């Protein structure tokens, strides 16, 4: 029987799957099949969720918190989020200006849904996390890229931002520390972007999910603190996935202008009715409880970053700055493009990543999905042993390429 031709929307019809999630899932499957694969694709800490956080989730179940919760989030969590954002520099923010969503992803998606009209533009500095342009596209907007590069440490040039603004520009997405570069944007750059936002009425969506992964001497400054004059246009986006090893709990949170939050909350009330209270209670414990586990994980990331950097530095022809934050490295691999594997030229980073996954047994993400077609992303959210063994195999594989 012929299958019917379904009339997909112009937005979802051509939407690709998230490659970071797809490659991570593939690596997990290979591992389950007994294949020793280095998990460098994963954008998630390998640590277990801290015990006191798990216990809060279990207690919520025991307490029967298993019904519909307020769609915008439970009041104590919204209060904790408001307090956190005030501490980060968003002065005067109150719980009614916060929202709890299914991950930071949920906050970002609903913000774009609430903000954009057909054809509106969103500025996105590149290299950029792959879901930003797809989310913009999915709600009818257009992404306008603002390039940064390894030579300037992936620091944004505010003049390039200014030059990219058009009458259709509605928002800019900042992500510091950034995925996939690990770059931390200097305060003066964030302040300059804040001034441009005020001049042109742009909403600044500041995705600060890697806030707790910043390595000395670098420090974290929230966009809210760096650009207080843009406070009325600032949407802070954050979540518990990365800092507290809670990727599967799906809790993210946002805080910003009341009018925007109200619209996002209404959308959420129709789309999903909000997130499970069980997960929200666990997130509350993460945000307000002891920080020992957070510190322990941060200390591990400092060591892992160094090991990954040292191991990659041993590979001739590959260059990579030492990133200040997040848990990714984005080495330039262009020296290897055009070389041959079993007689066939390696044409682009996507084929190179595929060969690395298959022949070096290291799951990596090709940079083209992040608008960095010269690079490959390595996550170091895994053990030092995995890093040494996996990068060792990648080195051996790259050496084996001919020509």
Interacting residue ranges for ligand GLU, rule: CB under 6 A: 18, 20-21, 43-44, 129, 131, 179
Residue 331 binding partner per list ligand GLU, ligand PMP, none, with a CB distance cut-off of 5 to 8 Å that depends on partner kind? none
Q: How many residues belong to the site for ligand PMP (CB under 6 A)?
A: 13
Is 278 a binding residue for ligand PMP by CB under 6 A? The answer is no
Residue 374 binding partner per list ligand PMP, ligand GLU, none, with a CB distance cut-off of 5 to 8 Å that depends on partner kind? none
Is 241 a binding residue for ligand PMP by CB under 6 A? The answer is yes
Q: Is beta strand 376-379 parallel, antiparallel or unpaired with respect to 328-329? A: antiparallel
Question: ω into residue 177 within 30 of 0, thus cis?
Answer: yes
Q: To which H or E segment does residue 81 belong?
A: helix 75-88
Contacts of 402 (CB under 8 A, 6+ apart): 339, 340, 341
**Of 105, 184, 179, whose CA–CA distance to 330 is shortest?**
179
Residue 386 binding partner per list ligand PMP, ligand GLU, none, with a CB distance cut-off of 5 to 8 Å that depends on partner kind? none
Is 209 a binding residue for ligand PMP by CB under 6 A? The answer is yes
From candidates 39, 50, 95, 103, binder to ligand PMP by CB under 6 A: 103
Q: Which is nearer to ligand GLU, 108 or 227 (CB)?
A: 108
Q: Which is nearer to ligand PMP, 37 or 326 (CB)?
A: 326
Give the nearest distance from C-beta 136 to ligand PMP in angstroms.
14
Residue 21 binding partner per list ligand PMP, ligand GLU, none, with a CB distance cut-off of 5 to 8 Å that depends on partner kind? ligand GLU
Is 143 a binding residue for ligand PMP by CB under 6 A? The answer is no
Q: Which residue has the tokens 């990714």?
A: 328
Range in contact with ligand PMP (rule: CB under 6 A) among 49-57, 134-142, 239-247, 372-380: 239-247
Q: Which is nearer to ligand PMP, 89 or 127 (CB)?
A: 127
**Cα angle vertex 194, ends 190, 196, to 5°?**
115
- Nearest residue relative to ligand PMP (C-beta): 103
Range in contact with ligand PMP (rule: CB under 6 A) among 97-105, 141-149, 223-231, 372-380: 97-105
Which residues 167-206 are close enough to bind ligand PMP by CB under 6 A? 175, 179
Q: Which is nearer to ligand PMP, 105 or 212 (CB)?
A: 105
Structure tokens at 319: 């260059």
Is 386 a binding residue for ligand PMP by CB under 6 A? The answer is no
Which residues 246-275 are close enough to bind ligand PMP by CB under 6 A? 247, 252
Whether the CA torsion 75, 76, 77, 82 is positive or negative: it is positive
Give the nearest distance from C-beta 103 to ligand GLU in angstroms.
8
Q: In what order do the strands lie in the sheet with 328-329?
A: 328-329, 376-379, 365-366
Q: Which is nearer to ligand GLU, 20 or 148 (CB)?
A: 20
Three-state SS across 5-59?
A: CCCCCCCCCCCCCCHHHHHHHHHHHHHHCCCCCECCCCCCCCCCCCHHHHHHHHH
C-beta of residue 77 within 8 angstroms of C-beta of residue 100: yes
Q: Which is nearer to ligand PMP, 37 or 104 (CB)?
A: 104
Q: Is beta strand 121-126 parallel, antiparallel or unpaired with respect to 169-174? A: parallel
Q: How far apart are CA 172 and CA 183, in angstroms?
A: 17
Residue 113 binding partner per list ligand GLU, ligand PMP, none, with a CB distance cut-off of 5 to 8 Å that depends on partner kind? none
Residue 206 binding partner per list ligand GLU, ligand PMP, none, with a CB distance cut-off of 5 to 8 Å that depends on partner kind? none
**Of 251, 250, 244, 264, whose CA–CA distance to 203 is shortest?**
264
Give the nearest distance from C-beta 135 to ligand PMP in angstroms.
10
Give the nearest distance from C-beta 218 to ligand GLU in angstroms.
20
Give the nearest distance from C-beta 42 to ligand PMP in angstroms.
10
C-beta of residue 191 within 8 angstroms of C-beta of residue 227: yes
Q: In what order do the strands lie in the sheet with 252-255?
A: 98-101, 252-255, 234-239, 203-207, 169-174, 121-126, 142-147
Binding site for ligand PMP (CB under 6 A): 43, 103-105, 129, 175, 179, 207, 209, 239, 241, 247, 252
């Amino acid at each position: 029987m012929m299958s019917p031709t379904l009339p997909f929307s112009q937005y979802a019809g051509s939407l690709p799957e998230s490659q970071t999630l797809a490659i991570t899932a593939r690596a997990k499957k290979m591992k389950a099949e007994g294949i020793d694969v280095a998990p460098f694709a994963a954008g998630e800490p390998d640590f277990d969720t801290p015990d006191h956080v798990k216990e809060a989730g279990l207690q919520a179940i025991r307490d029967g918190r298993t019904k519909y919760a307020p769609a915008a989030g439970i009041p104590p969590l919204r209060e904790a989020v408001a307090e956190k954002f005030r501490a980060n520099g968003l002065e005067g923010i109150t719980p009614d200006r916060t929202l709890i969503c299914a991950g930071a992803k949920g906050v970002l998606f609903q913000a774009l849904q609430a903000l954009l009209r057909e054809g509106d533009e969103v500025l996105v500095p590149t290299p950029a996390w792959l879901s930003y342009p797809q989310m913009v596209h999915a709600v009818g907007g257009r992404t306008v890229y603002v390039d940064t590069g390894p030579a300037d440490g992936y620091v944004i040039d505010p003049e390039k931002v200014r030059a990219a603004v058009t009458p259709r520009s509605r928002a800019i997405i900042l992500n510091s520390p950034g995925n996939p570069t690990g770059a931390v944007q200097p305060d003066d750059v964030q302040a300059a972007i804040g001034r441009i936002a005020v001049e042109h009425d742009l909403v600044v969506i500041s995705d600060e999910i890697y806030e707790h992964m910043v390595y000395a001497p670098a420090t974290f400054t929230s966009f809210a603190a760096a650009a207080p004059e843009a406070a009325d246009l600032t949407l802070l986006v954050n979540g518990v996935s990365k800092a507290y090893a809670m990727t599967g709990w799906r809790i993210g949170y946002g805080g910003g202008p009341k009018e925007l939050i109200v619209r996002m909350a209404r959308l959420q009330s129709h789309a999903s009715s909000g997130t499970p209270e069980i997960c929200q209670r666990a997130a509350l414990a993460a945000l307000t409880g002891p920080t020992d586990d957070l510190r322990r994980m941060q200390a591990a990331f400092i060591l892992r970053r160094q090991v990954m950097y040292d191991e990659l530095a041993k590979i001739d022809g590959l260059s990579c700055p030492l990133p200040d934050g997040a848990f990714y490295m984005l080495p330039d691999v262009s020296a290897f493009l055009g070389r041959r594997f079993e007689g066939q030229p390696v044409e682009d980073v996507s084929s190179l990543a595929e060969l690395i996954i298959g022949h070096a047994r290291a799951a990596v993400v090709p940079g083209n999905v992040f608008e960095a077609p010269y690079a490959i992303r390595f996550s170091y959210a895994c053990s030092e042993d995995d890093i040494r063994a996996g990068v060792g195999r990648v080195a051996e594989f790259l050496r084996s390429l001919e020509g």
